[in-house]
Amino acid sequence: MPETMAVLLERAEEDCRAVFATINARECRWTNRVLHTFQEHRVAPRHFAGSTGYGYADTGRDTLESIVASLFRAEAAIVRPQLTSGTHTLSMCLFGLLQPGDHLLSAFGKPYDTLDGVIGMNGEAGSLREMGVGYGCVMPLASGAIDVQGVLAAIRPETRVILVQRSRGYAWRRALSPLDMQSLFKAVKAVRPDIFLFVDNCYGAFVADDEPTFYGADAVAGSLIKNLGGGIAPTGGYVAGTERAIRRIESRLTAPGTGRETGSYEPGYRLFYQGLFMAPHTVAQALKTAVLAARAFELLGFAVSPRYDEARSDIIQAIRMDAPERLVAFCRGIQAASPVDSCAAPEPWDMPGYDDQVIMAAGAFVSGSSLELSADAPMRAPYIVYLQGALTYAHGRTALLSTLAAMRKEGLLSG
């Protein structure tokens, strides 16, 4: 392994010490909140047991949902293994909150690529568009902030849901913090309190000291194989928000009139409780890995977003590779440094839900888990790779070192 890459990473790590201390302090605060909430709800081994059939009076399921509602300062929550992904969870929410003839407004540019089919961008069967739901979006300001006045001007009489995507997705922009959303929420509620404020919270939970529901979001949603599952939950998704919003969403979870009352899971809930308890720590490990990657590639002259010492609101680190061969080499390096499928060589492919070919590196214990170390990107200029996760900082650091060394050996780094 070239010593220069080891020395570079040591320098980057030293530069990151103050940022790491801030992340560690936030981890302690969230851990204490989670611990106290578990204690307040008197979590016991009986909550880990599974249920069958209809799942009536499933105390493990119901208590888990009450805990998540408490952590998000929400009136109610849905936390279910039956939700297969973040996109599935977001889709359920949109179909619950919207009715035929309504209008969906995205307040911070185009949503993540996988929502194209849900919205019906290309006339997909079963989409919101087919159901008669209109769609519009307002682009961010040049400063990267929400264009609050632009959103207010774009509201129609039939606007029912305003969607805010917290994470950057596949975009060269900063992630929105919950506090960034506060002015929008206040402005909308002042003129149209009937509108549902809905936040795509994927990649964002426990990254900051607050959540969008602290400031008036009617619902936030995400996947349990991202932040909130702590790298342990084997599947699932969550929604937290007002009772008014959750009542509508739960009708699409099961059926109108049934809602949250049914839904069994025979394997049991221990991994979901354990994952939630571990989430503040695992999110901190992922954040420190992202910060280190940002600094290391900054030192090599690459453009990164966010910079290593900038405030973060999601676990994603974007690095502009500027060449397809660099992008592929980076992803292959991360894959080779994974504990699972390290012998695999990622290739760009036509992935369902995406307009461009996508390359993904993910040697994960839980398939598709974005809280485990992974890297992915659409194959389009300027060839930006999106790094996220790491169950442990030690693994993230080791993977970055071996990836940098491999890229340098191939002549893909100038340093």
Share of the chain above pLDDT 90, in %: 92
Interatomic CA distance for residues 28 and 12, integer angstroms: 24
Q: What domains are there in the chain, each with its CATH number?
A: 3-29+276-409 (3.90.1150.60), 45-268 (3.40.640.10)
Q: In sequence order, which residues have a C-beta less than 8 Å from that of residue 2 and are 6 or more positions away? A: 405, 408, 409
CA distance 293 to 291: 5
pLDDT tens per residue, range 270-306 = 999 999 999 999 999 999 999 999 999 999 999 999 9
The mean per-residue pLDDT over the stretch 54-63 comes to 97
Q: Identify which has the larger pLDDT, 35 or 168.
A: 35
Is the per-residue pLDDT at 9 higher than 50?
yes
Indicate if the pLDDT at residue 352 is higher than 90: no
CA dist 237 and 88 (Å) reads: 8
Confidence at residue 28, expressed as pLDDT on a 0 to 100 scale: 98
pLDDT value at residue 353: 64
- Record the tokens describing residue 35, joined without a space: 């611990």
Mean pLDDT across the stretch 214-235? 97
Tell me the pLDDT band of 3, cut-offs 50, 70 and 90: low
pLDDT of 167 above 80? yes
Query: For 358-381, what is the mean pLDDT?
Result: 93
Helix (H, G, I), strand (E, B) or coil at 86: helix
For the stretch 69-78, pLDDT in tens is 999 999 999 9
